[in-house]
Every structure is written in C-alpha cells, then in structure tokens.
Amino acid sequence: MKKLQVSELKPGMVFDQPVYIDSSNILLQSGQELLAKDIERLQKWGIHEVMTAGTLIQSGGATGDSLPPPVSAKDPEIQKLESDYEAFRKARFNIKSMVQQGSDILTANMHALVEGKPFDNHALLNLAGKIVDEYHARRFFLLSFQGMTIKAIPQVYHNIHAACYAVAIAQSQNFTRPRTQELVFSILAMDAGMYQMPAHVREKSSALADPERNAVKSHTILGNQLLLKGGKVKPALANIALQHHEHFDGTGYPQNLKAAQIDELARIALIVDSYTAMIEKRNYRPGMLPYDAMRTMLSQDTARYDPKLLRAFLGKVSIYPVGSIVQLSDKRLALTLGCRPEKPLRPLLRLLRDESGLPYNKATFVDLFVSSELYIVRAVDPSVTGVDLEAEI
C-alpha cells in the first residue's frame, strides 16, 4: 500500500484499485471517480492521507459534481441512440454473414499461400474494405462480436476480430479510408506464417515446449516471406507480418525493434492482436473478461505498447470495454456500448437488469457521462449473471 496525501487529491481522479481511509474503511472502489465532496469529507474529518495498492488511471481536473444533469428520455441524443441501436440489432445477421464469408475468403487464401497456389490479393483487399465500411455504418459494430459463433478455425476468426478493432484506432488517428483499408488488410494477413506451423502445435491444449515456442515465434519471418514472394503483397504491408510482435520498449521479436523503429500499423496491430487474443477462448484457457484484459494492458504490459495509440484505444472502447457486463452502484446490471474519448471510465450503457434482477421490457440506456450520481462498481462475468449476451443484445 502506498500513501496519498489528501492535499494532493483532485476531483476526477480514478485509481485501478480501491482507495482506503484505513484498513477497514474504503473511500473509493476500483474505477470510481473521486468527487469534490469526497475530498471535503476527508478534510472535515481531519484525515490527511489515504492508501491504495493501485495506480492513477485518470488524473484530476473534471469532477462528477459538475457534470451536466441526466439527459431526459425525450432528449434528441437519446432518441438517436435508440434508433442507432435498433438499426444495429437489425443488421447483426448481415454482420455475422459478412464475418462468415470473410473467414471463408481468408481461410482459402492462407491455404493457397502456404500451398504455393494463386493468392487473391484483390479478394482480401475487398474484404478489408467491407469491414471498414461496416464499422463506419454501424455505431455499435464491435458489439456484434459478443457471443458470435461462426464456422472458422480460431486463427482466422482471431485475425478478423483484431482487424475490426483496428478500425477504431484508425478512426481516432484520422486515417484516410485507403490507409485504414491497408491496415485491416495487413492484420488479416499478418499471421500467414502460422499456417506453416504443424496443427498439433497450433491446436495444443497445454503449454508449448521451448522448441515449439521458438517455432511459433518464427511465424513473423515466415509470414513476411510468404506474403512478399507468394502473395505479391506490397513490402510496406507485408512488413506488418514481420513486426506485429515487436514491443515499444524493445522486448519483442524478431528484431527487438523499439518505438519509432516499428511501423505505425504494426504498433496498432500489436494492441488489437493482444487485446482480442486475451478475450478469446483458447484450447488451453478460457477467455479473459474484457475489463481484465484492458487492465492487463494498462498496468502489467503497458511498456509493450505505443502510449499514444494505447490511449486512443482506451478512448474508443473504455476501460470497461464494449460488450462488458458491469454492476452499477445502485445494483443494476448493464452492458457497455462505448465511451467518449475524454472519459473512458464513464461509458455509455444499455441497462440489462434492474435492482431486483429483473430484465427491462425494452432497451433502456444510461450515459454515465451525464448521470453523475451513478458509477461502476465492478465488471461481472456473464456466466454468473444468467445473462445470455447473444440473445440479450
């Protein structure tokens, strides 16, 4: 536990672990925003320091006390939200069909590449374009991956999943559509070398032995060579296959590149590759909760990632990422839909269960940015809530 001086606390601060007044009294829950009235209360009680084992993940400056009042259900923004959400729900089948068709295209082309058969660059680039267009056309596009099941090997699904999240970062960086399309194409193809790995290694349900781990690490070099020679892919795009496991702090592979030595698209690829890999189920482990995956990236593994791009990713999906089930301070359960970039801890929510655990009879929304009286207590594993996300969304 480290001590924090009350005189240095500011409204708007948020920590990734609880903050305690003493060993038996808690001041803030993990992820809860510090309010001006909290500081005034401490000063009134004559408390000069508090304790936490966590780190500051949002600095002070804004305060929940000064946020605008809750938005009326008749507000135009809420009406548009309801309309956008309903449009997304109607489009879910088409989105799933696109992902299924895309997986078939990607599978066929990866096998063709490994077998020395013609690689259809155009088909893969078209798929990348469809993903970009769908993301921009559907406000809640990323939510469609919650509970999605398609007929595809895990590697193929993973690359499509990661590529879709990459569009969010591209949008935050104001990429042009052609550059975003190239980013998506690169991520779809970046694991080409994995298809040269023996199936018993790719599908192993236990920890890899050292020789197997070294073989898997070689997929970056193999993939780059396959794309350049067999796929006739532009060197700048094939380079993402080579560099997408390089770390910002120089601890990655295969070349131990550092910071700006790593192509910007590869730095984005690392972020979305890491995040989606953690939340996806594998033969040897269950998927992590999105919140736990994001916390891992922001705390344990943060040096691996470009800090500017990681902040952009956080600002797009929230520290309680899109698709998380969260419990609110009034005991209601909600589904996270996204957030404002400047307030990643105050996401937009769709309410799932009321205080008594009963479902709502229609889609009901809360924006924590304007509902300052509410805060998220914790992320919840869907398996313990009885909520079937696939049916619920």
Q: Please check whether residue 12 is in contact with residue 37, taking contact to mean a CB–CB distance below 8 angstroms.
A: no
Nearest CA-CA partner of 304 in 235, 362, 385, 246: 246
Instruction: Tell me, yes or no, whether 89 and 133 share the same domain.
Output: yes
Instruction: Tell me, yes or no, whether 251 and 311 share the same domain.
Output: yes
Count of domains forming the chain? 3
φ and ψ of 3, to 5 deg: -95, 140
Question: What's the domain range around 360?
Answer: 325-392
Instruction: Tell me, yes or no, whether 114 and 154 share the same domain.
Output: yes
Query: Is 385 contained in some domain?
Result: yes
What is the C-alpha separation between 160 and 25, in angstroms, rounded?
Answer: 46
Query: Is 72 contained in some domain?
Result: no
CA 90 to centroid of chain Cα atoms: 23
Query: Is 69 contained in some domain?
Result: no
- What pLDDT shows up at residue 174? 96
Instruction: Tell me, yes or no, whether 228 and 261 share the same domain.
Output: yes
Query: Is 158 contained in some domain?
Result: yes
- What pLDDT shows up at residue 75? 66
Predicted TM-score (pTM) of this structure: 0.80
Instruction: Tell me, yes or no, whether 292 and 387 share the same domain.
Output: no
Instruction: Tell me, yes or no, whether 244 and 134 share the same domain.
Output: yes
Instruction: Tell me, yes or no, whether 302 and 167 share the same domain.
Output: yes
* CB-side neighbour CA atoms (13 Å) of 284: 11
- What pLDDT shows up at residue 264? 98
Dihedral angle, C-alpha 277, 278, 280, 281, nearest 10 °: 120
Instruction: Tell me, yes or no, whether 53 and 93 share the same domain.
Output: no
- What pLDDT shows up at residue 62? 45
The answer to whether the peptide bond before residue 76 is cis (omega within 30 degrees of 0) is: no
Query: Is 106 contained in some domain?
Result: yes
Cα Rg of the chain (Å, integer) = 22
Strand partners, 58: 14
Q: What is the pLDDT along the chain (393 residues), one digit of tens a residue?
A: 888 888 888 888 888 788 888 776 778 877 778 888 788 778 777 788 888 888 888 776 544 443 344 444 456 777 888 899 999 999 999 999 999 999 999 999 999 999 999 999 999 999 999 999 999 999 999 999 988 889 999 999 999 999 999 999 999 999 999 999 999 999 999 999 999 887 777 776 667 777 778 888 899 999 999 999 999 999 999 999 999 999 999 999 999 999 999 999 999 999 999 999 999 988 778 889 999 999 999 988 899 999 999 999 999 999 999 999 999 999 999 999 988 888 888 999 999 999 988 888 888 999 898 888 899 999 999 888 888 888 888
- What pLDDT shows up at residue 19? 87
What is the C-alpha separation between 264 and 174, in angstroms, rounded?
Answer: 13
Last residue of some domain: 63, 89, 106?
63
Last residue of some domain: 271, 290, 317?
317
Instruction: Tell me, yes or no, whether 331 and 303 share the same domain.
Output: no
Instruction: Tell me, yes or no, whether 29 and 176 share the same domain.
Output: no
Last residue of some domain: 63, 89, 105?
63
Instruction: Tell me, yes or no, whether 145 and 256 share the same domain.
Output: yes
CATH of the domain at 134: 1.10.3210.10
What is the C-alpha separation between 209 and 201, in angstroms, rounded?
Answer: 10
Supply 172's token pair: 């935050």
Instruction: Tell me, yes or no, whether 312 and 219 share the same domain.
Output: yes
